[in-house]
Structure 1
Amino acid sequence: MLQPFASSDPFTIGVELEVQVVNTHDYNLTKAATELLNRVRERDFAGAIKPETTEGMIELATGVCENFDQARNQLLVLRDTLVRAADFLNVGVCGGGTNSFQNWYDQRSDGRERSEYLMGLYGALYQQFTIFGQHVHVGCPDADSALVLLHSLSRYVPHFIALAASSPYVQGTDTQFQCARLNSVAPFPLSGQAPFVTRWSEFEQYFERMEGTGLVHSLKDFYWDIRPSPGYGTIEIRVMDTPLRVEWAAAIAAYIQSVARYLLVDEPVHLSERDYEVYRANRFMACRFGLDGNCLNPETGHRGPIRAEILATLEAIAGHARILGAEEGLEIIRRTVTDGLSDAMWLRRIYRVHDSLHEVARQQCQIWRGAQIPE
């Protein structure tokens, strides 16, 4: 049965980051999540450090945050707490949407009931799901508004993918994608986009039909790019790779937060199911080419570069960013989109210099713990 949609403060945010746990020999994934969780169990911090899918993954989750600065500060504390525990155990932790050279067939369930169920259901597909993403929750004033926001944000999904893209390497190979992580999500039968309904009563009816098939037991069984989280009173945007730095993750969350307020307050988007006719193509362009990809506006038919679209959006949402306290985060976005390297571009640059994915992963661990990204 679907939970009632909880009350939440509109446009508050919560950030979740799935983090790699690696050894300090060749920087492949290692089975240390349980030991890390035991080390941090008695520590005092806002948010949570939790298990995720396999023993080579950890999830960092903020509490409910009002603005960029609060989200960044909570993520920094969570990061530092995890890094100290990892140092004690002589393992590494890092961001990035994929581990560049881990073998999917080496991955095992972490033993939790849900992990065992999913491993039994999806088999090798679930083992290949050892990927690392950033999820952002946005508080919504009510259930119907949540669905309107969910579908309005679909036009901005290429922005979110391109900004966070950090998974060019899979199984030791350059995939030619900026974000290859989402290629591991697409094969799941309940992935993609949510059904086009904008009233919660209609969504409840949809869920009841799906539940009646036996295919789903909760909303977590849907691997949608954006899905409602009624227990929190939020929608959850799930398309981003885990960035290499928590500061960048917080900036992306601030961008999403500001776009969300712009969409619900100014109502610039005229929703139509036809938006999804070009959705998969736009999503592909963002995954393949990142900020240099081109996307088609489903309403106007205009095709333009994602980089330019983000810069135009920053202008449109500036007033909302001021109200939300997101200006510093959006300035980080602007500088990177205008002059900087994306995470995927930086990973490729390091590989070209050192010709070693192991060295790339070693430097990812250094960047994660606060070292400056070399230009």
Structure 2
Amino acid sequence: MRIDFRSSPEPTLGVEWELALVDRTTRDLRNDATDLFAAAGPVMAQPEKLHSELLRNTVEMVTGICRTTGEAVEDLRRTLSDVVPTADALGIDLYGGGTHPFASWSAQQLTEGHRYAELINRTQWWGRQMLIWGLHVHVGLPEVSRVMPVLNGLLTYFPHLQALSASSPTWAGTDTGYASNRALLFQQLPTAGLPFQFERWEEFESFAQDQLTTGVVDHLNEIRWDVRPAPHLGTLENRICDGVSTFADLSALVALTHCLVVDLDQRVAAGEQVATMPPWHVQENKWRAARYGLDAIVILDADSNERLVTDDLADLVVRLEPVAERLGCSAELASVNDLVERGASYQRQRRVAEATGGDLVAVVDSVVRELRAGL
């Protein structure tokens, strides 16, 4: 099976930002995406940038093709600014977290459409548990032969991205003890989770053929890996990150992803053998970052060296500074250190819960306030 990769001559960016709909009063989820689309569409400058998702409690905002982190962030800010007044009129707030602290999965409604209905028909209880929201970052790659080496190299930095973005500590009213419960929930779907580490594009094509032939998927986009190629766009898509609630977090994560992918691609293009790690180390790193967040001790290489993730992030930001300068995102990359200093979303949510005696409504309030402050 041949899969054409629509190569991107420039390292362009595209960002997809999933947000939950919460009630202004109760702070529970609202299954009113259809009403929001109907009301917002006619007044939005670019209604095509607001998408539906699996459940009616979710909207996704997408950028156009962007060249810098700043451009992508401003694109999303404009869309959010268009949507918020309409949501206000409906008594809805937008919530940017990996999970909702207390919503019940059984009360959520499925978005109409054969694709979503078939997903739930197949996955049943686990599919209905998917009250999760994420941030997806696409980076354009110029050469199909470099896609899989770059993907494999990016997995070394999986825990760094997961820990920085972790925003889902609470599930169904209970603090799970994890920084990112979303990471472990999502991988329960049969085609989700960590990607296979193929060395050549032809191996990916063979894998995809097997998946289609055996009915595991009906379309390539049903391969829901944490990092995956998007052949029709000519991009590598990072789906590691939990949902985010501030433009500062958003900028840092987009810039870090952009710099990492471009740095890896340039090194592969220069003939360098990019370092990778055994799948068992990648899997362990995913678990450690989901469990401990920014306190995770992560595995650095195939030789099993370890280090505190925040220490490694500090050095990584310095190493990527020349790349960030070329990509026009030096300030945004530097803000990774600011994110660490103020605490990731999971830490900020826990601080609110502790200060309010475990009031999860107050936690939702805090996440909503962070998002609105960006406007």
Q: Which residue of 1 aligns with 2:7?
A: 7
Q: Which residue of 1 aligns with 2:337?
A: 334
Q: Which residue of 1 aligns with 2:167?
A: 166
Which one of 313, 317, 320 corresponds to residue 314 of structure 1?
317
Verify the 8 A CA contact 2:21 2:32 in the aligned structure 1. yes
Normalised to the residue count of structure 1, the TM-score between the two structures is 0.94
Q: Which residue of 1 aligns with 2:248?
A: 247
> Does 2:104 match 1:103?
yes
C-alpha separation in 2, matches of 1:197 and 1:359: 45
- What percent identity do the matched residue pairs reach? 27
Map 1:335-374 to 2 at 5 A.
335-337=338-340, 339-355=341-357, 356-370=359-373
Map 1:298-309 to 2 at 5 A.
298-309=301-312
**TM-aligned CA distance change 1:198 to 1:259, over 3 Å:** same
Deviation at 1:198, TM superposition (A): 2.6
**TM-aligned CA distance change 1:47 to 1:236, over 3 Å:** farther
**Gapped runs of 5+ residues in structure 1?**
none
Deviation at 1:188, TM superposition (A): 1.8
Deviation at 1:246, TM superposition (A): 2.9
**For 2:135, what is the secondary structure of its paired residue?**
strand
In structure 1, what residue type is equivalent to 2:8?
S
Deviation at 1:288, TM superposition (A): 0.7
C-alpha separation in 1, matches of 2:116 and 2:184: 21
In structure 2, what residue type is equivalent to 1:33?
A
Normalised to the residue count of structure 2, the TM-score between the two structures is 0.94
Map 1:111-150 to 2 at 5 A.
111-150=112-151
Verify the 8 A CA contact 1:97 1:241 in the aligned structure 2. yes
**For 1:369, what is the secondary structure of its paired residue?**
helix
- The structure 1 segments of at least 4 consecutive aligned residues displaced by more than 6 Å after TM superposition are none
Let me know the Cα RMSD of the aligned residues: 1.7
Instruction: Count the aligned residue pairs.
Output: 370
Deviation at 1:266, TM superposition (A): 3.1
**TM-aligned CA distance change 1:269 to 1:310, over 3 Å:** farther
**For 1:250, what is the secondary structure of its paired residue?**
helix
C-alpha separation in 1, matches of 2:190 and 2:71: 37
Map 1:197-346 to 2 at 5 A.
197-267=198-268, 270-271=274-275, 275-337=278-340, 339-346=341-348
Q: Give per-residue Cα distances to partners, 1:145-200, cap 9 Å, x unaligned.
A: 12111111000010110111111110000011111111211222222322222322
C-alpha separation in 1, matches of 2:200 and 2:25: 53
**For 1:11, what is the secondary structure of its paired residue?**
coil
Verify the 8 A CA contact 1:2 1:207 in the aligned structure 2. no
Verify the 8 A CA contact 1:194 1:227 in the aligned structure 2. yes
**Gapped runs of 5+ residues in structure 2?**
none
**TM-aligned CA distance change 1:76 to 1:88, over 3 Å:** same
C-alpha separation in 2, matches of 1:269 and 1:361: 45
Verify the 8 A CA contact 1:179 1:290 in the aligned structure 2. yes
C-alpha separation in 1, matches of 2:48 and 2:331: 22
